[in-house]
Each structure stands twice: as structure tokens, then as C-alpha cells.
Amino acid sequence: MTGLDPQELLVGLDQDQVAAVRITRGPLVIHAGAGSGKTQVIAHRVAYAVATGAVDPRRILVVTFTDKAAGEMAERLSALGLPGVAARTFHAAALAQLRHFWPARHGGAPAPAVLDSKIPIVGRLARGLPGGYRFTTAKDLADEIEWAKSRRLRPATYGAEAGSRTPPIPAELFVRLWAAYEREKDRAGRLDFDDMLTRTVDLLEMDETAAATVRERYAWFSVDEYQDTNPLQQRLLELWLGDRDDVCVVGDEDQTIYTFAGATSAFLTGFTGRFPGAREVTLDRNYRSSPQILALANRLLASEGRRKRLVATQPAGPLPTIRRCADGDAELALITATIRRLIDDGTPPAGIAVLVRINAQVPPIEAALTRAGIAFRVRGQRFFERPEVR
């Protein structure tokens, strides 16, 4: 017994959250809108399943999308009295399994170290491409390798199986560069980020003893940010499950952002097709944003034919304004002018935030604010302080 009180775990949850938490067996898909408290639901559902005896906490695997999210989930579970529950990313869980089985399959040798990045090898190979192709951005080539490996393509099968995909350079050159990358990586005795998944999938498909060992270790799964799962991650999840169905997936198809790396929301939207008996719960109460923000979000969803509507729970706030800029320079000028006006009108600088979609958008904003003499702080590490930039 854990000492957890199942009823206490339901206190403070809304009716839809309670419904999700109380489903502890069988396939479940939770459609979690933005700001709907999904992290709390995931943690409380795990604790509720343990408290009611539905699962041994040692056999739970909570899969998150980032190491940061895994750390936060582990902290929440620990605060609920479950410090031993495994919360990991697909990659971290796969690498742990690969390292466990590697010595027995490779004469006692430990698993290879993992490359920090494909870029050094890919960049060197790119400089040997003919003509103007040698100026192709190494990141674009590395991203294409990642996309292909997420679909379990090989250099030899890329041309036939990539469909209408257009690589950054002609397909025959890309295949040649990719094959050379794999040879150099193998000669160096290294794995890359994608190999954590590809090698583990290959292992579990070919070695029934290894697959049985993993399935004995983990029997109950919860997967967050499922809309950003790629085919390789989906296959790994299937291998972990085997013929069982104690799996809960949580996601929002409107928050898919990693399609460039092979992710697809089709696994989320098609979940009930793969598990006909699956139950569905929708979390549509937003605990983060004002009604004005959500009204705009709902208009955007409706414009794309979505039936989902986010329900406000927070007090009213100012109406959002939309500004259209001619180009990037005009946008930067508008940002700095708006911040300057807000500060002059008495808004404390700490109450102003500039949000971006991807990290690549941060450096120009840093430069524009510096030129304007506006002090700022970057959440995370400032661009010019990052080791790879230095």
C-alpha cells in the first residue's frame, strides 16, 4: 500500500479532469486543449492508479516530450508520494534499454557514446559536395536525415520510399552524403540521436527475449504531447506494449509543431481506430488565458473547421491587437517602439514579454533591443553565450 488517498487526489479537479484520472485501465485518449491542466491530470492519474491498486508503480512508464518535462513530471510524482515512477522521454527510455542489452550482444562492450550533434560530420561532408551544393546549410541536411530516419528509411531506400519529398539537394547527392555520414559515425564508434530509437526498435523486433524483458519491466504507459509523435516513436511504443492495451495518450492536434522532423498528429486522431474500445476525454477548460485571448483562439480554430472551443475560467483582460508588418525589419521596429511606449506609460519592464515560436527568432530580437537601449533578459541562455556560438 502506498498510503495515497484516492479521493484526495480528485480534490480541486474539474469534472472532465476527474473523469480522465479515474480511468486507470485500458486504452485512453485525452484531448487536452491549451492550458487545460494536462500535466496535473497525468500526474494525478498515475497516483490514482497506484492508490487504487490498478498498477504497481515500478511498472509504470510516463513518456514526456522533453527532458525538462520529464524532470517536472518526476517532481510532481515525487510530491504525490511516488518518487520511483519512471518519467522519461522516448529517447532516454530507449537509450537506457539499448545500453542494458548492448554488452550481451556485442561481446561485453558498452554501448557507444551519443553524438552531441550531426552538424560537425554533415558540415564537413557538405563542403565536399560539387558546385554550389557545397554551400547548403548543414542543419538542413541534418534535418532531412532526421526526417528520413524517423520513418525508418535507409540511404538505400530513400529514393523509393520518400515519396514526393524534396531534399535540400538532389536526391542522389543527398543519399550519397547520408551514407557517408553513417559510415563516418560508425567508424567513430558513435550513435546519433535518432539511433537511440532506430537501434532499440531493431533490437526489440529481432530479439524476443529482450522484448519480453522490457514488457515485464513496464506494463502501464502514459504518453504526453502525443500529437508530436513520429512513426519511429510510435513503433517503439507498440513494441513496448506488445499485445497489451494499458496506454493513455495525451495531446492536442492543434499544437503539432514537429512535423518538420517527421511528427504527425495522425497517431493522436487515429487512436480510437487502432484501439476500438478506447475511451476519450476532452479537457477544454482553459486555466491560463483571459476570455479575450480564448475568443481569438476559438475564432482561429473555427476558421480551420475545428469544432473544439476552449472555455475561459480566468477574469477578463485587454483585447488582443493584431499588427501586420511589411517585413522582418518593420516587425522589429514595431516591437521595440511598443516596448518603449509601454515603459514610458508606466508598465514595469518585468511585466513585458516577447514570445517567439522557435529559438531562431530570438537573436534578431536581442540585437534590436540592444540597439534600442532596452534592457532585457532571455529565458534560457542568451544566443551569444551559447557554447556553439562562442
Check whether 388 has a pLDDT greater than 60.
Answer: no
Write the DSSP string, 284-345: -EESSS-HHHHHHHHHHHHHTT----PEE-SPP-PPP-----SSHHHHHHHHHHHHHHHHHT
CA distance 346 to 341: 9
| Mean pLDDT of the residues in the chain | 94
Check whether 389 has a pLDDT greater than 80.
Answer: no
Check whether 3 has a pLDDT greater than 80.
Answer: no
7-27 pLDDT, tens per residue? 999 999 999 999 999 999 999
Check whether 384 has a pLDDT greater than 70.
Answer: no
pTM of the model: 0.88
Check whether 332 has a pLDDT greater than 70.
Answer: yes
Q: DSSP label at 354?
A: -
Q: DSSP label at 131?
A: G
Give the mean model confidence (pLDDT) for residues 350-364: 90
Check whether 33 has a pLDDT greater than 70.
Answer: yes
Give the mean model confidence (pLDDT) for residues 227-231: 96
Question: What pLDDT shows up at residue 4?
Answer: 87
45-58 pLDDT, tens per residue? 999 999 999 999 99
**Is there a contact between 313 and 286 (Cβ–Cβ < 8 Å)?**
yes
Check whether 191 has a pLDDT greater than 70.
Answer: yes
Question: What pLDDT shows up at residue 385?
Answer: 62
308: confidence class by pLDDT, cuts 50, 70, 90: confident
Q: Which of 186, 184, 158 is nearest to 173 (CA)?
A: 158
- N- to C-terminal Cα separation, the chain: 53
91-109 pLDDT, tens per residue? 999 999 999 999 999 999 9
Q: DSSP label at 118?
A: S
What percent of the chain is modeled with pLDDT above 70?
97
Q: Which of 201, 256, 206 is nearest to 231 (CA)?
A: 201
**Is there a contact between 244 and 270 (Cβ–Cβ < 8 Å)?**
no
250-281 pLDDT, tens per residue? 999 999 888 888 889 999 999 999 999 999 99
Write the DSSP string, 51-85: HTTSS-GGGEEEEESSHHHHHHHHHHHHHTT-TTS
55-89 pLDDT, tens per residue? 999 999 999 999 999 999 999 999 999 999 999 99
Question: What pLDDT shows up at residue 1?
Answer: 45
Question: Which residues make Cβ contacts (< 8 Å) with residue 217, sequence separation at least 6?
Answer: 59
Query: What is the CB neighbour count within 10 angstroms for residue 305?
Result: 6
CA distance 230 to 193: 14
Please calculate the CA angle 359-363-364 and round it to the nearest 5 degrees. 120
Match 476558421 to its residue by C-alpha cell.
Answer: 303
What 3-state class would DSSP assign to 37?
A: coil
Q: Which uninterrupted H or E stretch holds 222?
A: strand 220-223
HEC sequence for 153-193: CCHHHHHHHCCCCCCCCCHHHHHHHHHHHHHHHHHCCEECC
Give the mean model confidence (pLDDT) for residues 225-245: 97
Q: Across-strand partners of 311?
A: 285
HSE toward the beta carbon, residue 377, CA cutoff 13 A: 6
Question: What pLDDT shows up at residue 201?
Answer: 98
